[in-house]
Structure 1
């Protein structure tokens, strides 16, 4: 390409490129940007001339990006987002007036546990700030932080590589839930009951079921996994209408036992505790908006009640 000098390119054209990429439609992009379709088409013509590429190919009512457009968007979109947010906040961050959108990686469990209080704080402190909740596997999270598709994600401690910062928020532990009239009646499952019961398990990874299986394996106990889900909120309904035993974080299990005919039972393990951290990319470490959002999450986590002590 001979005309790749971005200093000659209007920033507004990049906004249009990003919007058409997201909407896959000139009409929808125009509505989102309050522009006519002819104005969007004219802008796209300038972009095609500048990059010497078609950028989008019409297939029916859909605009499919070319490989070059895909590459441009991957590089430009996070930077463009940062520029627009900085312009909107004038280099500072005022929660009362900001119109920022924060993209938070939260599982069903964390949404149930934290989101109501987060929203309450936003309603009083930052009425124009919005949230976009994203669910991602362990393997996707680092890339999503790097490309700006996530501002923060909350999850267990793992090695997410260089440039990913973290802060501990709270502790929880794995327990089991089953329907109140389940044949298993004790407060702690025996190893024999674990071996013969059928479980519904959670996995947020593409490669396995996580630390609980490792604990059981080293104890010489193998459980039967009947169903694997990626949404914790599905587990209580499956358990309440079957003989399945579900594994959940205790804080979430306590919420569901108050509204459904379920009870909590513990696994035959001395320690099933885990820690939840918030994670963010180094590029956002000193951003005032991120610092504020992280403080909100930390405040909400600190307000959670302490876990009760269990005697195994």
Structure 2
């Protein structure tokens, strides 16, 4: 099949249907009528001699062929987009682009407010979408261009993924004001005598501080395990439990709670986040500008 005989717009529609799982949502995303989306899908089905999607209830489920070609299609579309963008100068003052960033929820509240404040001044029409991507999918999403950049811990990714080390964060302990035993300072003996909250999205497993304590032959008592630091901060305000967490996020949350933020009496490696992007956007003016804004914001954080 010669590419001259193929309407590449059909693959843009294919990507939209695959992403949205619905002809209706795909039509809204692309600002096309639903009959136009259906017609494009019918043409692509004929071209590839495959149904590509099968309706199950209200969801369009991809066929094995559709699943096998989605990543190459996305990479090809992203390559065209990068080529076209690279041919033009990116002007943040007039751009109406929306960037998509992947980041963990613990990073989002510390980075997004100052990042959006900075972008709003330099690029009043530029938008940002922040979402969470499973670490196993991160490289594929970057390659496909469904996300422009990602912020996460140091991960074992291929050479196609570029990365930049971001400023480190430290670990602190949050204790409610008026705690009967902990006031203004905390040593390791007192830390181990207290009961603790552990925050994790996993069902089980140690935190960094538990790994270090175990290495020393020590153990703290976990009284409660939950998924979100906001929940844990609320519990701290109503109990004598202690919460160990990243300092910057602790400062953000503590604006509401007014807890004591005390130094962790334990030597831990600093929490190093990395900024990731794909090699195919390394020279893209828009992506490079976005990376510069993120780096500048993090360099100015306390």
Q: Please tell me the TM-score bracket, short chain as reference.
A: 0.7 to 0.9
Residue 171 of structure 2: aligned partner: 174
Indicate whether 1:99 and 2:84 are aligned: no
Cα distance per residue 1:244-287 (max 9 Å; x no partner):
32121112222333321311223321445333332222222222
Distance 1:295 1:119, change over 3 A: same
Indicate whether 1:217 and 2:214 are aligned: yes
Tell me which stretches of 4 or more aligned residues in structure 1 moved more than 6 Å.
Answer: 204-207
Structure 2 residues without counterparts, runs of 5 or longer? none
Residue 154 of structure 1: aligned partner: 151
Structure 1 residues without counterparts, runs of 5 or longer? 306-312
**Pairwise CA distance, 1:301:** 1.3
Residue 250 of structure 1: aligned partner: 247
Distance 1:82 1:7 in 2: 18
Distance 2:222 2:134 in 1: 20
**Pairwise CA distance, 1:191:** 3.7
Residue 126 of structure 2: aligned partner: 129
Choose the corresponding residue for 2:277, options 277, 280, 295: 280
The range that moved more, 99-108 or 192-201, is 192-201
The range that moved more, 206-215 or 63-72, is 206-215
Residue 27 of structure 2: aligned partner: 30
Q: TM-score, normalised by structure 1?
A: 0.84
Indicate whether 1:20 and 2:17 are aligned: yes
**Pairwise CA distance, 1:173:** 0.6
Distance 1:266 1:25, change over 3 A: same
Distance 1:137 1:214 in 2: 23
Residue 181 of structure 2: aligned partner: 184
Indicate whether 1:67 and 2:64 are aligned: yes
The equivalences for 1:40-119 within 5 A come to 40-84=37-81, 86-87=83-84, 90-119=87-116
**Pairwise CA distance, 1:161:** 3.9
Residue 308 of structure 1: aligned partner: none
1:171 partner SS: coil
1:45 partner SS: helix
The range that moved more, 293-302 or 113-122, is 113-122
Residue 237 of structure 2: aligned partner: 240
Residue 10 of structure 1: aligned partner: 7
2:138 partner SS: helix
* Contact 1:202-1:209 at 8 Å conserved across structures: no
* Contact 2:198-2:207 at 8 Å conserved across structures: no
Q: TM-score, normalised by structure 2?
A: 0.86
* Contact 1:151-1:280 at 8 Å conserved across structures: yes
**Pairwise CA distance, 1:10:** 0.6
Distance 1:233 1:77, change over 3 A: farther
Distance 2:213 2:40 in 1: 59
Distance 1:141 1:25 in 2: 24
Distance 1:196 1:6 in 2: 70
* Contact 1:139-1:206 at 8 Å conserved across structures: no
Residue 301 of structure 1: aligned partner: 298
Distance 1:136 1:25, change over 3 A: closer
**Pairwise CA distance, 1:50:** 0.8
Distance 2:22 2:154 in 1: 40
Cα distance per residue 1:88-125 (max 9 Å; x no partner):
67443221233333221223332222211211222222
Distance 1:31 1:105, change over 3 A: closer
2:272 partner SS: strand
